[in-house]
Structure 1
């Protein structure tokens, strides 16, 4: 199974990107 996160914000390292990275971190840590 694959997990994908899509962020449509134009600001690099903005709040949306930080939240998305935080939400995807458990999947990255578990080797997804």
Structure 2
């Protein structure tokens, strides 16, 4: 998920789905990953 949040290209579809769920539960997670 970390690579997905950073805008990378090396992640699985499940990472994208899990990242979306985490973002719903913990807004701002993508920003904090940077």
TM-score relative to the length of structure 2 = 0.40
The structure, 1 or 2, with the larger RCO (C-alpha pairs under 8 Å, 6+ apart) is 1
